[in-house]
Amino acid sequence: MSVIYNRVALIGLGLIASSIFWAIKRNGLAAEVTGYARSAETRDTARRIGLCDRVCDSAAEAAADADLVVLCVPVGAMAAVAAEIGPVLKPGATVTDVGSVKRDVIESVSPHVPEGVHFIPSHPLAGTEHSGPEAGFAELFDNRWWLLVPAEGSDRQAVARLRALWEGVGSNVDEMDADHHDLVLAVTSHAPHLIAYTMVGVADDLRRVTDSEVIKYSAAGFRDFTRIAASDPTMWRDVFLTNKDATLEILGRFTEELFALQRAIRTGDGDHLHDYFTRTRAIRRGIIEAGQDTDAPDFGRVKQPK
């Protein structure tokens, strides 16, 4: 593949930024990648593992003269970072982000993007429960969706260029309206994470089941809840505070469904339960057929040698 941007700046050097760097390098999509993280320890780690061609000591230094700046910080930190880099952004550059919420990010970042700079929000639907610069890997985005959320009237050439980059790192790319994005993600990501955190919290509160039993006898369902609930706490705090309306709407619907299932169990309505589980099983098949997961035994996990 050929170079799409001469210089890319990654602000925030966690799992997503690290994976973007390795994927860009894998396919030669940028001539130079600069990076910045707020923590000196993270910057030292990035330098040690060769993450970024140049690790800078300020966001403004990393963003100066960049053709593309990718904001890879928690949603709650986007405004402050945008305010810092705004004065150094060069005309014609593009700013994007990887936040899981879009409406709030647009409202936070847009005021700090100068005239002549393109702001094209985006969101990769990819990740793991691990975080930090050492968690990244080049294949993270392969066959995963990356959503672009351009504002009305965005420069189509700039959008096409960003699309080419995200396709170049292995993603399938689609465009979506900001409010619809936030509702879709409330269903597919935000509410499931909150439910997982809750279920693990319930196990922690239920003192009749000891900690050792929860760990020792952890069946697949609970084990997978704990995987989701191990995700970065700062990021998820910000997600729920900034996508409040959509998340609360989906949680309200979830509560209604849960009450209906409680009633079916209480009244012995096996037909309702069977029909419900049949319908939800079909959704799982659809996800596998779309190539977004595997039907291999144990979710394709590699067995660890004893």
CA–CA separation, 214 vs 218, rounded Å? 6
Residue 305, pLDDT > 70, answer: no
Q: Which residue type sits at 96? A: T
Residue 42, pLDDT > 60, answer: yes
Residue 4, pLDDT > 50, answer: yes
Mean pLDDT estimate for the chain: 89
Residue 124, pLDDT > 80, answer: yes
Assigned token pair, 142: 């392969």
pTM, full prediction: 0.83
What's the rounded mean pLDDT across residues 262-278?
93
What's the rounded mean pLDDT across residues 47-70?
97
Question: Which of the given ranges, 35-39, 193-197, 207-211, has the highest pLDDT on average?
Answer: 35-39
Are β-strands 5-11 and 118-119 bridged in parallel, bridged antiparallel, or unpaired? unpaired
Quote the pLDDT of residue 130: 81
- 110 pLDDT band (50/70/90 cuts)? very high
Q: List the domain boundaries for the chain.
A: 5-176, 180-268
Residues 5-176, CATH architecture: 3-Layer(aba) Sandwich (3.40)
- 213 pLDDT band (50/70/90 cuts)? confident
pLDDT tens across 61-86, in order?
999 999 999 999 999 999 999 999 99
What's the rounded mean pLDDT across residues 200-211?
70
Least confident span in 44-58, 95-109, 168-182, 276-290? 276-290
- 210 pLDDT band (50/70/90 cuts)? low
Quote the pLDDT of residue 280: 86
Residue 259, pLDDT > 70, answer: yes
Quote the pLDDT of residue 219: 65
- 154 pLDDT band (50/70/90 cuts)? very high
What's the rounded mean pLDDT across residues 179-200?
88
Quote the pLDDT of residue 135: 92
Quote the pLDDT of residue 304: 46
Backbone angles phi, psi at 38, to 5 degrees: -65, -35
* CATH class of the domain whose range is 180-268: mainly alpha
Are β-strands 145-148 and 122-124 bridged in parallel, bridged antiparallel, or unpaired? antiparallel
- 298 pLDDT band (50/70/90 cuts)? low
Secondary structure, 3-state, the chain: CCCCEEEEEEECCCHHHHHHHHHHHHHCCEEEEEEECCCHHHHHHHHHHCCCCEECCCHHHHHCCCCEEEECCCHHHHHHHHHHHHHHCCCCCEEEECCCCCHHHHHHHHHHCCCCCEECCEEECCCCCCCCHHHCCCCCCCCCEEEECCCCCCCHHHHHHHHHHHHHCCCEEEECCHHHHHHHHHHHHHHHHHHHHHHHHHHHHCCCCCHHHHHHCCCHHHHHHHHHHCCCHHHHHHHHHHCHHHHHHHHHHHHHHHHHHHHHHHHCCHHHHHHHHHHHHHHHHHHHHCCCCCCCHHHHCCCCCC
Quote the pLDDT of residue 306: 41
Assigned token pair, 60: 């403004």
Quote the pLDDT of residue 235: 84
Residue 207, pLDDT > 70, answer: no
What's the rounded mean pLDDT across residues 12-30?
97
